[in-house]
Amino acid sequence: MRSKAAVGLLALGLGVLAQEGFPYPEGFRFWTHVKSMEIQRGHPLYEAFGGLHHIYANPQALAGYLSGKRAFPEGSVIVFDLLEARAEGQALVEGPRKLIGVMVKDSRRYPETEGWGYYAFGADGKPLAIDPKACHACHQGAANTDFVFSAFRP
């Protein structure tokens, strides 16, 4: 009986965990490509984000990028798709994925980080443990564009 109860509690715990998390943003490669950048050795963010990244916006986030206000509507999801940057002759080509970062706008759910949830997933699609408050602290640098650093490149 005890072990059954433990399994039950474990299942409940996992259920709660799944509800608190955010699902892998399936299909983001078919969202709109916003812009790209390579972070190179020597850059302050190299350890965390070295490589070639692309930014993708779901339809709500795209509306935010395209609006004059640069305020992102509820439901906006922005993906930071980080790939290895590989040298191939005199060219830089895309290597395997390192991780993806995700920003989600839900003002009721993420009041402590001013409306944005932050998540990350490994190349295998599994969630990575991150501190959303640390993410948001860095994104204060883009406070005047609703904490989003990137701008849509027409």
**Cβ atoms of 79 and 28 closer than 8 Å:** yes
| Cβ at position 55, least distance to its own copies in Å | 10
Question: How long is the chain?
Answer: 154
**Sole binder of its own copies in the list 1, 19, 131, 154 (CB under 8 A):** 154
**Sole binder of its own copies in the list 42, 47, 68, 126 (CB under 8 A):** 42
**Sole binder of its own copies in the list 13, 123, 141, 153 (CB under 8 A):** 153
Strands 116-122 and 77-87: unpaired
| Cβ at position 92, least distance to its own copies in Å | 4
Tokens of 143: 């406070």
Q: 73 or 132, CB closer to its own copies?
A: 73
**Sole binder of its own copies in the list 6, 7, 9, 93 (CB under 8 A):** 93
Binding mask 48-77 for its own copies (x = CB under 8 A): ----x-x-x---------------------
Give how far Cα 99 sits from Cα of 14, 59, 74, 138, Å: 23, 22, 24, 18
Which helix (H) or strand (E) segment is 52 a member of?
strand 51-57
Confirm or reject binding of residue 92 to its own copies (CB under 8 A). Answer: yes
For residue 75, the one-letter residue type is G
